[in-house]
């Protein structure tokens, strides 16, 4: 079964991110790569769909202007259980801040945004 890019864990209710984990080397990839492992070259059949907590630390953040006075903040977050992901951030945040993903209502579909963890 395919892991979703993000969702709610049915047991804990916490937000999770879907990854691909290599059986040969343990590498976790996001976004999920289906063709094969980007680290060791194992074929796609050796990749398992897994979910990890949407929780980590901010490595970097930058404002991206979407209009004259409008911007969104995009950042790199190292997940506690996985790779670095590029995600939308709710500001204000600083490098090193602990953040957690929440699902919000987007323009056309649910969206994932990371906020300061409580």
Residues that bind Zn ion (CB under 5 A): 22, 24-25, 27, 37, 39-40, 42
Nearer to Zn ion among residue 41 and residue 110 (C-beta): 41
In whole angstroms, the minimum distance from the beta carbon of 42 to Zn ion comes to 5
Q: Please check whether residue 34 is in contact with residue 2, taking contact to mean a CB–CB distance below 8 angstroms.
A: no
> Cα separations (Å) of 37 from 45, 60, 79, 81?
10, 26, 19, 18
In whole angstroms, the minimum distance from the beta carbon of 79 to Zn ion comes to 18
Rg (C-alpha) for the chain, rounded Å, is 15
Nearer to Zn ion among residue 27 and residue 55 (C-beta): 27
In whole angstroms, the minimum distance from the beta carbon of 81 to Zn ion comes to 17
């Amino acid at each position: 079964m395919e892991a979703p890019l993000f969702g709610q864990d049915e047991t804990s209710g916490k937000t999770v991110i879907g990854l691909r984990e290599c059986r040969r080397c343990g590498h976790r990839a996001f976004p999920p790569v289906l063709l094969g492992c980007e680290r060791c070259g194992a074929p796609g059949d050796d990749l398992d769909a897994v979910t990890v907590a949407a929780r980590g630390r901010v490595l970097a953040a930058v404002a991206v202007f979407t209009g004259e006075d409008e911007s969104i903040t995009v950042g790199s977050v190292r997940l506690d259980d996985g790779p670095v992901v590029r995600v939308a951030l709710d500001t204000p945040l600083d490098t090193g801040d602990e953040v957690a993903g929440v699902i919000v209502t987007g323009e056309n579909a649910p969206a994932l945004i990371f906020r300061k963890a409580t």
